[in-house]
Amino acid sequence: MPVSEDDRPVLLVLRALKLGDLLVAVPALHALRRAYPAHRLLYAAQDWLEDALALVGGYELLPTHGLDVPLALPPGRVDVAVNLHGRGPESESRIEALRPQRVISHASDRRPGPLWEDDIHERQRWARLLQWHGIEADSADFRLNLPSARTDRPAATVVHPGAAYGSRLWPEDRFAEVAAELALADHDVVFTGSAAERPRAARIAALAGLGGDVVLAGQQSLSAFAALIADARLVVSADTGAAHLATAYRRPSVVLFGPASPDHWGPPPGPHTVLTKPGLRRGDTFAVEPDPALLGVEVHEVLAAVRGLGLL
């Protein structure tokens, strides 16, 4: 990162996590951009998020693969460091090593800040952090810029059957049954996901009786994926980045929750329906098997939710 070529003071945001984590932090990122208009804004996260970060506006990506390596900035170069990663000693030590002039973080043995609250929505968590430090922030300010290129599948119904962990994987046969019913109702169904998720998406498309041309998983850049969702007729997804993009672009969505609570990660009021069985929730994000709260959701409930959105 050639920071020496720019003499503006640097504001660094540490959040070396995934797409959904970036998207729930958007209100805080907008607030920081407004509060520090003269600063160079860096966002420390995995490099594959660069396209998504561009949709926030105003930030440059500092490639950072987790917290196991130091941040690629010389000590003393950062003016303001913002810990949106968490509250643990690992993220604190990475920020301390930069020797910033100001640190915005939750309370710790070394730093003042608001106390961490467990029972709070993630968008509100990070807006509340900034508010405590005297920065105006609105947790409802979560919209993204539109991608510069439009999608070549306008008004598609996006079925996103993958997830980072098995605990969030709704059964393939249920996704297939939903997709088949939507296709019969003249929805232009497509299946999205990463390259690693392409085999799962292809199996579901085959079970649904749909051709391989509807399987877009592994064939889109992140910006193309965002453009697809920004113009989608409907998004059906687990609690993943796809669902958060539907929120950011206010596209109708049905979101299936397993180990995580929608009270902490769910969409705001709008054209979104959350389905889960909270009484069955085990809550182990890293489990191999789907969470019982997810398995408790039946196909007819998903179709009823689509009908409730006026799309079936």
Instruction: Go through the domains of the chain in sequence order and give each one's CATH number.
Output: 3-132 (3.40.50.2000), 157-308 (3.40.50.2000)
Residue stretches of the chain with pLDDT short of 70: 1-5
Q: Is the dihedral of CA 28, 30, 31, 35 positive or negative?
A: positive
Q: Which residue is listed with tokens 């409907």?
A: 234
Closest CA to 57 of 160, 166, 119, 145: 145
Q: How many CB atoms lie within 10 A of CB 148?
A: 9
Q: Residue 185 and residue 180: Cα distance in Å, rounded?
A: 9
pLDDT tens digits, residue range 185-209? 999 999 999 999 999 999 999 999 9
What pLDDT does 4 receive? Answer: 54
Confidence (pTM): 0.94
Q: Which residue is listed with tokens 């993943």?
A: 240
What pLDDT does 110 receive? Answer: 84
pLDDT tens digits, residue range 30-84? 999 999 999 999 999 999 999 999 999 999 999 999 899 899 999 999 999 999 9
Burial 162-194 (b: 16+ CB within 10 A, else e): bbbbebbbbebebbbbbbbbbbeeebbbbbbbb
Could you say which DSSP state residue 212 is in?
G
Work out the widest C-alpha separation in the chain, in whole angstroms: 60
